[in-house]
Homo-oligomer: A and B are copies of this chain.
Amino acid sequence: MDHDIQLDLERASRIGFDEAIFCSGKSTPHLARILDQAQDKRLRLLLTRLHESQFAELPEHHRVRIDYEPISRTGFYDSPHPLAGAARVAVVAAGTSDVFVSREAARTLCYYGVPAQEITDVGVAGLWRLLERLEEIRRMPVVIAVAGMDAALPTVLGGLVPGCIIAVPTSVGYGVATGGNAALHSMLSSCAPGLAVMNIDNGYGAACAALRILRGFGSAEAAKA
């Protein structure tokens, strides 16, 4: 009557994603058992929502094999996919409080070998900060836009940027902004056409959506080559 994870090892071949472990709420023994399995099967893993205190409690021999980043609370178990090519994704965050999410997106892309350009503190309540970085952003075919509270950033971007925009609301804020629904609803209701939206705080998912798109580019490129 134990309770091990059954790692979905064929997912990579089917849809191109490795197993990712959502660590929030998992106990240290549970996490350790997952890493044991990964070690046995020589798998690399992406660990998300791994709180600093959870990381600190892991067995030493696992901890040394994890590349941990505390802001995003992500860890790479064993070496991630090698980075390749120039950045084709911009990860843009409205405020410094949104970085825990935008960094999760950037780290996930990094894990899959996709370089990303991080741009933060460009919320539209201070519009000129965004306009200064606009050309840089417009050059990218995929833009991940992370914002909380009023979440006005993706709407403004949507009117200025021709490429694909993946909007991620954050749970930052208080009062009616608590939990991130105000930001989520603002993004889903955007007057700018064609914004695609993720669940609140789901930087990992935004990166996966970007990866699904880039594969399309890849095959397009491959077809041309």
**Interface on A for B, CB 8 Å cutoff?**
1, 3-6, 8, 10-11, 14-17, 20, 22, 24-26, 69, 71, 94-97, 99, 103, 120-121, 123-129, 141-142, 148-152, 155-156, 158-166, 169, 171-202, 204-213, 215-217, 219-221, 223-225
Contact = CB atoms under 8 A, between A and B. Distances in A.
Given A185-B181, A190-B125, A141 B220 contact: yes
A104 to B, nearest CB: 12
Q: Which of A121, A176, A206, A210 has the most CB of B within 10 A?
A: A176
Contacts of A208: 193-194
A166 to B, nearest CB: 6
A97 B25 contact: yes
A197 B196 contact: yes
B194 A196 contact: no
29 contacts: A3-B71, A4-B96, A6-B96, A6-B120, A14-B160, A15-B159, A17-B193, A25-B97, A125-B156, A125-B159, A125-B192, A127-B156, A127-B159, A141-B220, A142-B216, A162-B212, A174-B199, A174-B200, A175-B180, A175-B184, A176-B199, A176-B200, A182-B186, A185-B185, A186-B186, A189-B199, A194-B206, A195-B209, A221-B223
Contact of A163 (B142, B173, B187, B215): B215
A67 to B, nearest CB: 12
A58 to B, nearest CB: 18
B177 A185 contact: yes
A190 B212 CA distance: 15
Contact of A199 (B124, B177, B211): B177
B191 A94 contact: yes
Given A5-B96, A175-B201, 12 more contacts: A8-B121, A22-B97, A124-B155, A125-B155, A150-B191, A174-B200, A182-B182, A188-B197, A193-B208, A217-B220, A220-B224, A224-B225
Nearest to A7: B121
